[in-house]
Chain A
Amino acid sequence: MSPISRRGALLLGAGLGITLRDVAREAGATPAQADAAISKFTAGKTAERGKISIDLPEIAENGNTVPMSVVVNSPMTADDYVSEIFVVGDANPNAAIVRFHLTPMSGRAEAATRIRLGGTGTVTVLAKTSTGKLYADSKTVKVTVGGCGG
């Protein structure tokens, strides 16, 4: 049995989580900035839910590199394809994370990368199709150690 009990370690972890979240807040993480970026993308239109699947871990131990993959349900034909995928995080000092531009040559509306998350928060993925439809979905990620340095 280690000198720190399991319960002690868990409590310590919980305390640490709050401190790091405060650090992220100080670094200028504002959900309002994320909302602004989302409204700018949607331009007042309502986004449809359920068309995007986001693959992100529920708990990211290291916010410095979090694997993310996004798939949008789309036929990806010359007439109807996903032209843009925009990823926003509300716990980062800068809400925008990445913007992918796709073409009918993409074949499938999917992309993957590794992102940084400053703290526990919601990652929102928005997609725009060539026919003018808007899709949105989001996922909450718990971050143990934030990845923005601050």
Chain B
Amino acid sequence: MADKPRLRIPSEAKKGDIIAIKTLVAHPMETGFRKDEQGKPIPRKIINTFVCSFGGREVFRADLEPAIAANPYIEFTVKVAESGTFTFSWTDDDGTVTTAEHSITVS
């Protein structure tokens, strides 16, 4: 996957703040229901799992279906208690995993 995932997350927060995390990854999310010009079905190829962890602990996960639009955008919240690093992973049907990281300073 050529494009880096896009993340929108604050880099600083106060202890106990609930922050919004916005993520977007470039992917066609081919449903498997479409047909090409010859009428042959185009095989399904989607991101099926998205996971966000903080300091090694899973804080949010989404199981995606073909009903998620291309370039899947996912937004959720996290209550931050300490400084640390968020890790994100997007898993493709073919097993490819795209990852990203973001550090936050909590005062």
Contacts and interface: CB of A to CB of B under 8 A. Distances in A.
B62 interface: yes
Contacts of A76: 79
Contact of A97 (B68, B74, B76): B68
Nearest to A89: B67
Interface stretch (A7-15, A106-114, A129-137): A106-114
Where chain B touches its partner, the secondary structure class is strand
Contacts of B76: 100, 102, 106, 110-112
A97 B51 CA distance: 17
Interface in B59-76: 59-70, 72-76
A42 B31 CA distance: 27
User: Which range contains the number of A residues in contact with the other chain?
Assistant: 35 or more
Contact of A105 (B59, B63, B65, B69): B59
Contacts of B62: 98-101, 111, 113
A100 B52 CA distance: 11
B57 interface: yes
A55 B67 CA distance: 17
A148 interface: yes
A54 interface: no
A102 B73 contact: no
A64 B66 CA distance: 11
Contacts of B69: 64-66, 113-116, 147
A119 interface: no
Given A64-B69, A100-B60, A111 B18 contact: no
B33 A100 contact: no
Contact of B79 (A64, A69, A96, A105): A105
Interface of B: 18, 31, 33-35, 54, 57-70, 72-79
Interface of A: 27, 64-66, 69, 76, 89, 92-94, 96-108, 110-117, 147-150
